[in-house]
């Protein structure tokens, strides 16, 4: 919630700052300069690249600020780390009271720190304690355990830093909170601050260093490139086979009543079934090997490509076909020179959708069962709470998916430049 509000504030401030800067740059504000901008004209809206850059910087700034990263100078308060102490008041069975100090040492998880040192104080029945707590963690402690007569049922801690405490109550000390349980133990919670624990969200540089690590050493017996390469290879194999079968099938459905009638129920039934729903069946039939995954992706791509090719054929203007006939073309020539090229824009649109769906499906399939692949990498890492690998995997999956779409768009521009200009 705080993060979201902060994001909105950054959004607003960046916008105001940009407008202010732009206004100071253009001094001319006459009618002519205003009427070029028609609010509501969608075609006149293009992404403001300055905003895109600020948006990415803002994301990383928030990420860094909430993880205590080195990439941002400003951080939200982190968890309390270091030494602190509080005084507790105990009452023994005889009704006498005495004070002792609990020395706390809060350390970053993973570091090796000794217990704080405690000096002996002879002549008192409440004895000082030493407690070690990991940052973001809490500790359940019986401070009276080492006190003289402390194991007597009537012995009790009655106050913390002079504030009375009873079972179920919570009091604050200088750097945290203490809750007394019903059994009289103290649950000591040092302040967590606002930063995220690394096992929830690691800092950006931790993710980056993990990238370097698994790029050179690999993860779970396979190099990073093998993991990503296998995922990508499955997608391409499934997509290619799906296209090789789907496109001719779509053409046949677009050109023949019999094919349309025969395959219409199958295609219309399979199209709304999400490929993810097929994963269990595919595993039962083909196991968790490569074969099953390629078949799953083939099925994911097949219906999309079939429908795209069918739409491409149905989309041909009858006047183009008539024109070709009256120029003396044969049926086969019309298919080859008119129907196929005319359907290419539709097929490319379908291919972009299919590649996107396949990429999503392969990651999901690998989440379920795989010995290598991007999805396997993140699901395996999550079992060991290696959140940095999980986040790294998500980022890589996103980058690759985006890259695929950009490549498809470039291919489209190059191969079907007439798209949308018929």
Alpha-carbon Rg for the chain, nearest whole angstrom, is 33
Regarding 327 and contact with other proteins (CB under 8 A), the answer is yes
Interface residue with other proteins, options 182, 326, 383, 384 (CB under 8 A): 326
* CA atoms of 237 and 43, how far apart (whole Å): 37
Q: Is 23 or 337 the residue whose CB approaches other proteins more closely?
A: 337
Neighbouring C-beta atoms of residue 107, cutoff 10 Å: 17
Counting contacts by CB under 8 A, is residue 328 touching other proteins?
Answer: yes
Distance CA 10, CA 29 (A): 27
Among 19, 172, 271, 337, which residue interacts with other proteins (rule: CB under 8 A)? 337
8 Å CB contact between 175 and 41: no
From residue 168, how far is each of 42, 43, 141, 158, 215 by CA, in Å?
A: 60, 63, 15, 12, 51
Binder among 19, 23, 322, 331 for other proteins (CB under 8 A):
322
Nearer CB in complex with other proteins: 23/331: 331
Pairing of strands 186-190, 176-180: antiparallel
Among 342, 361, 380, 387, indicate the residue that binds other proteins (CB under 8 A). 342
CB of 324 to other proteins, least distance (A): 7
Does position 396 bind other proteins by CB under 8 A?
A: no
CA–CA separation, 420 and 422 (whole Å): 6
Q: Is 271 in the site for other proteins (CB under 8 A)?
A: no
Among 324, 369, 370, 377, binds other proteins (CB under 8 A): 324
What distance in Å separates the CA atoms of residue 142 and residue 157, rounded to the nearest whole number? 9
Judged by CB, which is closer to other proteins: 142, or 320? 320
Of 209-217, 218-226, 339-347, 374-382, the window that binds other proteins (rule: CB under 8 A) is 339-347
Backbone angles phi, psi at 245, to 5 degrees: -90, -40
What tokens does 129 get?
């304690």
Distance CA 29, CA 97 (A): 80
Structure letter (DSSP) for residue 339: I
Q: Which of 330, 385, 399, 409 binds other proteins (CB under 8 A)?
A: 330
Q: What is the DSSP string of 102-142?
A: EEEEEE-BTB--PPPP----TT-SS--EEEEEETT--EEE-
Q: Which stretch binds other proteins (CB under 8 A): 100-108, 131-139, 368-376, 414-422?
A: 414-422
- The residue count for binding other proteins (CB under 8 A) is 23
Mark 344-383 with x for binding to other proteins (rule: CB under 8 A) and - for no binding: x---------------------------------------
Structure tokens at 381: 């890492």
Interface positions, 56-115, toward other proteins (CB under 8 A): none
Binding mask 138-177 for other proteins (x = CB under 8 A): ----------------------------------------
Interface of this chain with other proteins, residues 301 to 320, rule: CB under 8 A: 317, 319-320
Residues making contact with other proteins (CB under 8 A) = 317, 319-320, 322-330, 333, 337-338, 341-342, 344, 416-418, 421-422
């Amino acid at each position: 919630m705080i993060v979201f509000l902060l994001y909105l504030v950054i959004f607003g401030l960046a916008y105001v700052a940009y407008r202010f800067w732009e206004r100071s740059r253009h001094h001319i504000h006459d009618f002519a300069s205003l009427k070029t901008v028609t609010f509501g004209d969608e075609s006149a809206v293009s992404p403001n690249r300055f905003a895109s850059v600020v948006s990415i910087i803002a994301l990383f700034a928030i990420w860094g600020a909430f993880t205590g990263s080195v990439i941002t100078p400003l951080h939200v308060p982190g968890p309390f780390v270091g030494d602190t102490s509080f005084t507790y008041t105990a009452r023994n069975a005889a009704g006498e009271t005495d004070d002792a100090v609990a020395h706390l040492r809060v350390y970053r998880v993973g570091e090796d720190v000794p217990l704080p040192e405690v000096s002996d104080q002879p002549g008192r029945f409440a004895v000082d304690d030493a407690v070690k707590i990991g940052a973001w963690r809490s500790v359940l402690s019986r401070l009276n355990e080492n006190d003289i007569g402390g194991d007597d049922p009537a012995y009790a801690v009655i106050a913390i830093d002079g504030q009375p405490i009873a079972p179920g109550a919570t009091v604050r000390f200088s750097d945290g909170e203490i809750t007394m349980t019903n059994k009289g133990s103290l649950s000591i919670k040092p302040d967590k601050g606002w930063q995220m624990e690394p096992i929830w969200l690691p800092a950006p540089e931790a993710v980056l260093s993990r990238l370097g690590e698994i790029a050179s050493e690999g993860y779970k017996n396979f190099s990073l490139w093998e993991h990503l390469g296998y995922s990508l290879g499955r997608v391409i194999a499934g997509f290619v086979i799906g296209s090789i079968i789907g496109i001719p099938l779509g053409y046949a459905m677009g050109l023949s009543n019999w094919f349309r009638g025969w395959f219409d129920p199958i295609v219309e039934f399979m199209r709304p079934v999400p490929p993810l729903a097929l994963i269990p069946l595919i595993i039962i039939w083909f196991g968790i090997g490569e074969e099953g995954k390629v078949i799953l992706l083939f099925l994911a791509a097949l219906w999309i490509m079939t429908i795209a090719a069918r739409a491409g054929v149905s989309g041909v203007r009858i006047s183009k076909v008539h024109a070709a006939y009256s120029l003396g073309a044969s049926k086969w020539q019309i298919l080859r020179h008119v129907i196929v090229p005319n359907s290419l824009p539709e097929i490319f649109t379908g291919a972009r959708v299919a590649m996107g769906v396949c990429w999503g499906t392969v990651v999901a399939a690998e989440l379920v069962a795989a010995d290598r692949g991007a999805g396997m990498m993140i699901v395996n890492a999550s079992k060991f709470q290696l959140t940095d690998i999980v986040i790294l995997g998500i980022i890589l999956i996103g980058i690759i998916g985006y890259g695929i779409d950009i490549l498809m768009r470039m291919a489209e521009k190059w191969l079907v430049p007439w798209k949308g200009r018929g």
